[in-house]
Amino acid sequence: MSDAVSQNVATPATENNPIPVTVLTGYLGSGKTTLLNRILSEDHGRKYAVIVNEFGEIGIDNDLIVESDEEIYEMNNGCVCCTVRGDLVRVVEGLTRRKGRFDAILVETTGLADPVPVAQTFFMDEDVRAKTELDAVVALVDAKHLPLRLKDSREAEDQIAFADVVLLNKTDLVSADDLSKVEATIRAINPHAVIHRTERAGIDLAKVLGQKAFDLKKVLDSDPDFLEEASHAHDDHVCGPDCDHQHNHHDHDHDHHHHAHGEASAIHDVTVTSISLKAGELDSKKFFPWIQALTQEEGPNILRLKGIIAFDGDPDRYVVQGVHMIIEGDHQRAWRVDEKRESRLVFIGRNLDREELEAGFAACAARVRAHAEA
């Protein structure tokens, strides 16, 4: 076997130590294979199992590259959006029986693949869920061809909307002006993803792997829009000093969220919207029934949701995240004294009714306590 085996020095994965899974999405030609080759050949001391749709262009000799046919299974529970990837269930089950064989799993999807069933597999299948944890969904975007892709397909938009990390690749093939426009479009589709500009998928792997984007304990901590000073700290947060790409972003409009919406609307090809809600302290007896009913009814329209909730009388931050109808939540940590006890919730999806969401969220507000007025 290859050197990769002797590099297997990192902590072996066990059942108490779930195996992280990174999902790579992106259109044909966006640089997925280049990134995969980088991950497999770089000297990082970790061993990866890679699930691909087709063998072929991966030039690295690795005995843990598995081919699997995309097989979407609708769950028989009357919910059209409750889908899993049957092929991933089978392959992940096969791969995870032997302990310490590899440290992480990479799933490469086809350009046309819907990222949602891939992600849902890691939440809905009990065996897969017990042995693995979804780390992040990484979308590669071809800076030159994205506008065209958005015109002729919905998948390209879905992949960006669903991503935690977007690699805006092939930046060397477009002008600075076009690059800014493409980045604004990505921001319009998904204001919460971390965007990195790359050439030939060249990126510090620490910015792609080990993101813990679905970990409730860390959810939103890395989300630029959720940070207190998001609009100012964003770019510095995204690109560390060791970033090798062009740092011309400091002259961006830092209020990128609103700016991006304005610019992208001219493209007419963006159908995904993002809605951010803000409120004070909430009443858990109102919030839980509301979010349950909402995800039941609007699940098919919700691609992702994330939130930090301040419940009346609860010293801890409560965090929630969801994919379609699947929603999970947990206490994260105590509110710090210098933090404003504020509830925030973001939705990324289609056909979302902003006014209704705002009204519903506002109606969950905790009543002001009588003694506070006394």
Partner 1 sequence: MPSIAPYDLGEFVERAVFLGDAPAFALADGTVHLPAGGGSVLTAHDGGLLTACLDEYSNRLLTGGEDGRVVAVDAKGAMGEVASIGKKWVSVVAGGPSGAVGFASGRTAYTWTNDGKVLEKQFSRTVEGIAFAPKGLRCAVARYDGASLFFPATDAEPLFLEWKGAHLGVAFSPDGKFLVTTMQENALHGWRIADGKHMRMTGYPSKVKDWSWSAKGKFLATTGAPAAILWPFSGKDGPMGKAPLELGTRGNVMVTSVACHPSEDMLAIGYSDGMILAVRFQDSKEALLRRGGKGPLRTMAWDRRGRLLAFGSEDGEAGVVDIAG
Indicate the residue among 91 and 193 with the shorter CB distance to partner 1. Answer: 91
Tokens of 147: 């506008």
Nearest distance, CB of residue 25 and partner 1, angstroms:
21
Q: Coil, strand, or helix at residue 5?
A: helix
CB neighbourhood size of 128 (10 A) = 23
Pick the piece of the chain touching partner 1 (CB under 8 A) from 59-67, 147-155, 165-173, 192-200: 59-67
Pick 49 or 141: Cβ nearer partner 1: 49
Span 108-147, contacts to partner 1 by CB under 8 A: 125-127
On whether the CB atoms of residues 162 and 116 are closer than 8 A, the answer is yes
Give the footprint of partner 1 on residues 301-330 (CB under 8 A): none
Q: CA-CA distance, 203 to 54, in Å (whole number)?
A: 24
Phi then psi dihedrals of residue 6, to 5 deg: -70, -15
Q: Which is nearer to partner 1, 65 or 150 (CB)?
A: 65
Site for partner 1 contains 98 (CB under 8 A): yes
Query: How many C-beta atoms lie closer than 10 Å to residue 117's C-beta?
Result: 24
Q: Which of 10, 18, 58, 73 binds partner 1 (CB under 8 A)?
A: 73
Instruction: Determine if 272 is a binding residue for partner 1 (CB under 8 A).
Output: no
How many Å apart are CA 351 and CA 328, to the nearest integer? 22
- Strand 19-26 and strand 132-142: pairing? parallel
Contact 29, 142 (CB under 8 A): yes
Q: Which of 10, 58, 60, 75 binds partner 1 (CB under 8 A)?
A: 75
Q: Using the rule CB under 8 A, give the single segment among 61-69, 150-158, 167-175, 353-361 that binds partner 1.
A: 61-69
54 lines the binding site for partner 1 (CB under 8 A): no
CB 48 within 8 A of CB 38: no
- Residue number, 74 or 356, with CB nearest to partner 1: 74
Range in contact with partner 1 (rule: CB under 8 A) among 72-80, 231-239, 245-253, 306-314: 72-80
Cβ atoms of 226 and 321 closer than 8 Å = no
Q: What is the DSSP string of 96-129?
A: TTSTTS-SEEEEEPPTT--HHHHHHHHHH-HHHH
Question: How crowded is residue 43: how many other Cβ atoms within 10 Å of its Cβ?
Answer: 7
63 lies in the binding site for partner 1 (CB under 8 A): yes
Q: Measured from the CB atom, is 3 or 355 closer to partner 1? A: 3
Question: Under DSSP, is residue 157 helix (H, G, I), strand (E, B) or coil?
Answer: helix
Region binding partner 1 by CB under 8 A among candidate stretches 20-28, 93-101, 167-175, 180-188: 93-101
Residues 223-262 that bind partner 1 (CB under 8 A): none
- By CB under 8 A, residue 204 contacts partner 1: no
Q: Could you give the dihedral angle defined by the CA atoms of residues 349, 307, 138 and 195, in that order, rounded to the nearest 10 degrees?
A: 90
Cα–Cα dist 55/328, whole Å: 35
11/76 with CB nearer partner 1 = 76
CB of 349 to partner 1, least distance (A): 26
Pick from 3, 11, 16, 55 the residue near partner 1 by CB under 8 A: 55
Smallest separation, CB 61 to partner 1 (Å): 12
* By the rule CB under 8 A, 77 interacts with partner 1: yes
Contacts to partner 1 by CB under 8 A: 55, 63, 66-69, 71, 73-77, 84, 86-87, 89-91, 94, 97-99, 125-127
